Amino acid sequence: MSVLSDRIPEYLRKLPGYTPGKPRRQAERESGVPSIKMASNENPFGPSPRALAAALEAAGQINYYPDNDISELRLKLAEHHGVGPEHVCIGNGSTALLDTLARTLLTTGLNAITCRLSFIIYRIATRAAGGDFIEVPLAERGFDLEAIAAHIDGNTRIVYLANPNNPTGTMFDSAALERFLERVPDHVLVVLDEAYCDFAAAFARERGVEYPNSLQYVKQGRHNLMVLRTFSKAHGLAGLRVGYALGDPRLVEILARVRITFSVTSVSQAAAIAALDDTQHIGAAVENNLLGASLLVKALSEMGLRVAPTWANFIFVELGQSAEEVAQRLQAEGIIVRPLTAWGAPQAMRVTIGTPAQNQMFLSAFRKIAAVPTR
């Protein structure tokens, strides 16, 4: 008798799962101490008060299905970015949009390309669609755009570019993106993942670097570029799952049909609309991030660790020892960080930039465990 699970395609049976940052309550159960989470790049200040009020008001209508076209938020985003609403597709977080893009463009025999040590969902989404996943080495912890371009072939359908990259926090500038796009053939979609764009743009202004104006390509009608954004980071709505894509209307229209029906809740839509207007809340998060990044990079570097200058809201730290062990010892001190073993970097960790108090708590705990010899 055949077993049904044996008939599932091998590429799905071998699909690696996604392991998220450890939830705070789980860590507290394990360690028995109050914890702060600095593992998942969330906004440490929480959601905008306006977004929270809008969500609470919308919750009174949850007996009704949400607007499947997400029309009000689409119009709001289109106005915000200076594009037509036909350029906007909204999904249940940018991770869901990555899955939809892969299912739309990939199948067995086709491939997607990115660099190693980048967002794990790229690999999962590609393989779940049956596609081949190609990773090229990083260059100085950042994307090697020349190497990616050299690997594109007739079976390539997607190139994933995270800018800034997760988990290394590195960024490529406007000129580098322009040179890369000139080499990309028409049959390849460049998925430009800008989850951390609010932070990167602020760093770029401070450091005199030109962060890519990716939306200029959308406005110019470039058909093979899709820009992804999210409300999970600077806007503080990670738990409500709202992300969006900006690109060619023909592809956007197909994505809107392929994505899950009613995929963005009415509460999420209302909160996102309100969050977009609260520029003061976003600005405070970005300003805190600039100061926190400077503090953490300096302090960790002075401890003799290799720390990548960040363009996002987290720090990539090379420890020279097991990151899993360091993370466990920090958890015992009430600090949750992200070891990067699943990315293929077992001696590196990622630390989200927190509030000033949280940053000091992390440094105090890290100095404490660093002073204790490993077994």
Phi-psi region of 365 (alpha: psi -120 to 50; beta: other; left: phi over 0): alpha
Mean pLDDT taken over the chain: 94
State the average pLDDT over residues 101-120. 96
pLDDT confidence tier of residue 371, bands split at 50, 70 and 90: low
Res 372 pLDDT > 60? no
pLDDT recorded at residue 10? 83
- How many alpha carbons lie under 13 Å from residue 247 in its C-beta half-sphere? 25
One CATH from 3.30.70.2860, 3.30.540.10, 3.90.1150.10, 3.40.50.170 for 9-38+280-370: 3.90.1150.10
Model confidence at 370: pLDDT above 90: no
Strand duo 111-115 + 156-162: pairing: parallel
Q: Across residues 257-282, what is the average pLDDT?
A: 96
Burial of 330 (0-12, 13-18, 19+ CB in 10 A): buried
- Residues 243, 232: contact at Cβ < 8 Å? yes
Q: Based on the number of CB atoms within 10 Å of its own CB, is 370 exposed (0-12), middle (13-18) or buried (19 or more)?
A: middle
Distance in angstroms (rounded) separating the CA atoms of residues 132 and 155: 9
- Average pLDDT of span 80-87: 97
Token match 């660093």: residue? 370
Chain-centre distance for alpha carbon 289: 16
CA distance 269 to 54: 9
Take residue 316 and report the two structure tokens written for it.
Answer: 């990539």
350: phi then psi, degrees, rounded to nearest 5 = -115, 130
Cα separation values, 258 from 75, 157, 196, 315, Å: 20, 17, 26, 35
Q: Is the pLDDT of residue 70 over 80?
A: yes
Contact 132, 151 (CB under 8 A): no
Q: Can you tell me the distance from the alpha carbon of 269 to that of 59, in angstroms, rounded to the nearest whole number? A: 11
Select the more confidently predicted residue: 23 or 297: 297
Name 63's Cβ contacts closer than 8 Å, sequence gap at least 6: none
Task: Evaluate whether 224 touches 189 at the Cβ level (below 8 Å).
Answer: yes
Please indicate whether residue 24 or residue 161 has the higher confidence score (pLDDT).
161
pLDDT at 113 over 60: yes
pLDDT at 2: 63
Token code pair at residue 104: 């739309």
Judge if the upstream peptide bond of residue 164 is cis by omega within 30 degrees of 0: yes
* Statement: residue 130 has pLDDT above 50: yes
Residues 325, 342, 230, 68, Cα dihedral to 10°: -120
Confidence check: pLDDT of 66 > 80: yes
Cα-to-chain-centroid distance, residue 256: 21
Query: Rounded to the nearest 5°, which phi and psi values hold at 138?
Result: -70, 160
Residue 374, pLDDT score: 46
In tens, the pLDDT along 199-239 reads: 999 999 999 999 999 999 999 999 999 999 999 999 999 99
The domain made up of 50-277 has a fold known as Aspartate Aminotransferase; domain 2 (3.40.640)
Averaged pLDDT for residues 62-87: 97
* Segment 278-298 mean pLDDT: 97
Q: Which pLDDT score, from 0 to 100, does residue 375 have?
A: 41
Q: State the pairing for strand pair 345-352/338-340.
A: antiparallel
Of residues 30 and 362, the one with the higher pLDDT is 362
User: Is the predicted pLDDT of residue 281 greater than 70, yes or no?
Assistant: yes
Between 69 and 308, residue with greater pLDDT = 69
What single string gives the DSSP state of each residue in 172-223? --HHHHHHHHHH--TT-EEEEE-TTHHHHHHHHHHHT-----THHHHHTT-T
Percent of the chain with pLDDT over 70: 98
| pLDDT score at 373 | 47
Where in the chain are the domains? 9-38+280-370, 50-277
Is the pLDDT confidence value at 9 over 90?
A: no
Q: Poorest-confidence range of 28-32, 150-154, 347-351?
A: 28-32
- Percent of the chain, pLDDT > 90? 88
Q: What pLDDT does residue 26 have?
A: 86
> What residues contact residue 25 under an 8 Å CB cut-off, 6+ apart?
none
Is pLDDT at 319 greater than 90 in this prediction?
Answer: yes
